[in-house]
Amino acid sequence: MTVVAFDFDGTLSDSEMTVLLGDQCGVADQMDEITERAMNDEIEYAESLRQRCALLEGLDDEKAQAAFDQVVLRPGAADVIEALREAGVYVAILTGGFERGVAAALEKEGVEVDAIVANRLPVADGALTGGVEGPLIEGTKDDALEVLTAVVGEDRENTIAVGDGANDLPMLEVAGLAVGFEPKPNVAPSCEVIVETMAELQDVLSGEDVL
């Protein structure tokens, strides 16, 4: 297996980007409630994302960047990414979160990945517009994984997907190996393996002869 696709919020990171952004303008509790409903599959992900981003309208972009700068990787996540890349594995992050937060977290740890598929928050006149753009609003992670395998020249069976929430189900259901990282109750049945720490994940990857 030569392609490993990670979710970000709730998987590689325990930061929740929209909540960090919401803290900057006093709407974090509303953000958290919408996020939880989406992760439990009670509301369509695209709708939940639009609702959360709409709450950010008018947030100064400098404050938005301050929120992105708080995004961090989970303990051990950088080690897993480094080990995979040293083993020649193609590492991708597929997230409904935002490019700037992912980039900030990776930069802090001094690690890189091969591809980031993420969304963006448009800025006008120095403030967030309340909109959202990107491939993973209406688009799903199975489609993104299909594109990656085509780019790399691998069969989809030779992939591992790692995620936790309802919007990860599409990629978990089509990957060669579906790994749940502390998955939500409605996601766990779609996972072939469940882990709770990055050390456990590294053991699974070693057991699959990926590392």
Give me the active site residues, please. 7, 9
Token reading at 170 = 């599409």
What is the spatial distance between Cα 209 and Cα 136, in angstroms, rounded to a whole number?
30
* Nearest Cα to Cα of residue 117 among 139, 87, 84, 132: 139
DSSP string for 167-208: GGHHHHHHSSEEEEES--TTTGGG-SEEESSHHHHHHHHHHT
- Identify the DSSP state of 60: B
Would you tell me how many other CB atoms lie within 10 Å of the CB of residue 99?
17
Query: Of 150, 136, 189, nearest to 159 (Cα)?
Result: 150
C-alpha dist (Å) from residue 53 to 28, 67, 173, 186: 11, 14, 28, 25
* Helix or strand run (H / E) with residue 106: helix 99-109
161: enclosing H helix or E strand: strand 159-163
